Amino acid sequence: MESGGLITAEEAERRVLILENPALHGESRVTNTLFAGIQMIMPGEVAPAHRHVSSAIRFVLDGEGAYTAVEGEKAFMAPGDFVITANWAPHDHGNPSKKPMLWLDVLDFPAVNFYEASFAEHSDEATQATTRQDGDSLSFYGSGVLPDGTATTGRTPVINYTYARTRPIVERMMRAGDIDKRHGARVRYANPVTGGPVLPTMGANLAMLPKGFQGEPYRSTDGTIFVCAEGQGTTTVDGKVLEWGPQDVFVVPSWKRYAHHAQKESVLFSISDRPAQQALGIWREGQ
């Protein structure tokens, strides 16, 4: 085998650093139900169009100008953006910019595999035809009005919940003093048609913690993946202190007591399988 540089995205299909829970060695999952990995796409690369039963999200860590095309909308991404690829939705990625882009991938395929219901399909074309402009889905469905005849579904029609739109909301909440003693000034990403979670299997939040925030202890049955978008702090999980800063990813396992402390004003993204647990009637929380 010849030595050399990185292989292309086309050769590998995906360039992903899998985040593995050391307690689940060799199982390619970060919680019992969720996969997480850091994906990189280099300038000029295209990750070919495909679709799968597993729902997926992207939380952008670094870079700007790459896109994810989903169901005919090419959504250009920037750090902090939260991008949805719902169950069986055709999607592809490309990077026409001059810099690499990194994002966190989270998929529910461990849960799908448990039900032995995993299917995937590759398109004959590397990229899908795009008929909608960047941001159309957010304008159509996330502006307080809906296209007449919009069907009620269990997944959000919004492709990209941009950081530029969401961050000012948590900042305004914090300035207004609407700060939860455990979670900070926190919003839940919602399906604007139903008010429910963005996906049946995964739900996400964005929270701003004021400088010096000392969160009260909290625990819940949904193992939760956190990403620091801004700031610096620590999270104490069952007595163990986890330090975090920008772009760091950490996980709080199911029913482990944790508390956040922010050394600087900070923003944390989080995602878990809470919607699936709530649908089954098994989710609970406590101190």
pLDDT in tens, 44-61: 998 888 899 999 999 999
Quick one: what percent of the chain has pLDDT higher than 90? 82
Number of domains in the chain: 2
Kindly tell me if the per-residue pLDDT of 3 is higher than 80: no
Do 76 and 172 lie in a common domain?
A: no
- The verdict on residue 50 lying in a domain is yes
Do 136 and 185 lie in a common domain?
A: no
User: Tokens standing for 28?
Assistant: 């390619």
Do 85 and 191 lie in a common domain?
A: no
Q: Which residue stretches of the chain are H helix?
A: 9-12, 109-114, 136-141, 163-175, 274-280
Place of tokens 């461990």: 110
Do 125 and 221 lie in a common domain?
A: no
Do 281 and 180 lie in a common domain?
A: yes
- The verdict on residue 94 lying in a domain is yes
Do 57 and 104 lie in a common domain?
A: yes
Task: State residue 134's pLDDT score.
Answer: 93
Task: State residue 161's pLDDT score.
Answer: 97
Alpha carbon dihedral 71, 75, 229, 227, in 10-degree steps, equals 20
Q: Is 130 helix (H, G, I), strand (E, B) or coil?
A: coil
How far does CA 26 lie from the centroid of its chain?
A: 23
Mean local confidence (pLDDT), 255-265: 98
Do 108 and 76 lie in a common domain?
A: yes
Task: State residue 152's pLDDT score.
Answer: 87
The side-by-side arrangement of strands in the sheet containing 224-230 is 185-188, 203-209, 266-272, 224-230, 249-252
Which range marks the domain in which residue 171 is found? 163-286
Per-residue pLDDT tens digits for 89-128: 999 999 999 999 999 999 999 999 999 999 989 888 878 8
Do 137 and 173 lie in a common domain?
A: no
Do 169 and 276 lie in a common domain?
A: yes
Nearest to 141 by CA among 128, 127, 151: 151
Is residue 84 within 8 A of residue 124, CB to CB? The reply is no
Do 136 and 30 lie in a common domain?
A: yes
Do 137 and 189 lie in a common domain?
A: no
Burial class of residue 22 in the structure, from the number of CB atoms within 10 Å of its CB (0-12 exposed, 13-18 middle, 19+ buried): exposed
- The verdict on residue 153 lying in a domain is no
CATH code, domain with 132: 2.60.120.10
Kindly tell me if the per-residue pLDDT of 171 is higher than 90: yes
Contacts of 181 (CB under 8 A, 6+ apart): 215, 216
Q: Which one of 107, 141, 175 terminates a domain?
A: 141
> Distance (Å, rounded) from C-alpha 65 to C-alpha 97?
5
User: Tokens standing for 65?
Assistant: 């100008």
Do 119 and 174 lie in a common domain?
A: no
